[in-house]
Amino acid sequence: MERAEKIAIASDHAGRELKEDLKEFLKSRGLEPVDMGTNGDESVDYPDYGIPVAEKVSKGEIKRGILICGTGIGMSIVANKFPRVRAALVCDVYTARMAKEHNDANILVIGGRIVGKGLAREMVSVWLDTEFSAGRHQRRLDKIREIEDRVGGCG
């Protein structure tokens, strides 16, 4: 039997409710969510939860991740500090599709206080189902990788 693909998922307190909903949604799609917190409603610092997901994706330990905070802005800033991470903050189905198709985003970031559960599920579905189109877009990702190499972000 084939093992389910693991997807790291984490949130701060503002995204916890949406994270819990998306975990169930991922399971319904035959995926294995790896919950990296938070698991309570008390105020926490989003970097403490974004860092572990970004590290796992950066090191190639997990192929993809989902991060959620109030607006998604903080989590996207944190995640994009890591080499080989392409975290995309999305707000609708179109940006979710483009995140994957044009940017091969390996972390999807959602604002838990901005996006409802139904839309979040749609965005996750589109992101999971869309293929990276490569071509001219690969050339652009190669340039980003060159920046990472130049500033010492990659081993």
Q: b/e map of 59-79 (b: 16 or more CB within 10 Å)?
A: eeebebbbbbbbbbebbbbbb
Token pair, residue 54, equals 């970004």
- 102 flagged as catalytic: yes
- 154 flagged as catalytic: no
Q: Which one from 13, 69, 137, 154 is the annotated catalytic residue? A: 69
How is the beta sheet containing 6-11 ordered, strand by strand? 32-35, 6-11, 64-69, 107-111, 87-89
Alpha helices in 29-110 (DSSP H): 47-58, 73-79, 93-101
Q: Which one from 91, 102, 137, 154 is the annotated catalytic residue? A: 102
Handedness of CA 30, 104, 97, 101 (dihedral sign): negative
CA dihedral 51, 52, 55, 60 (to 10 degrees): -150
Catalytic residue numbers read 69, 102
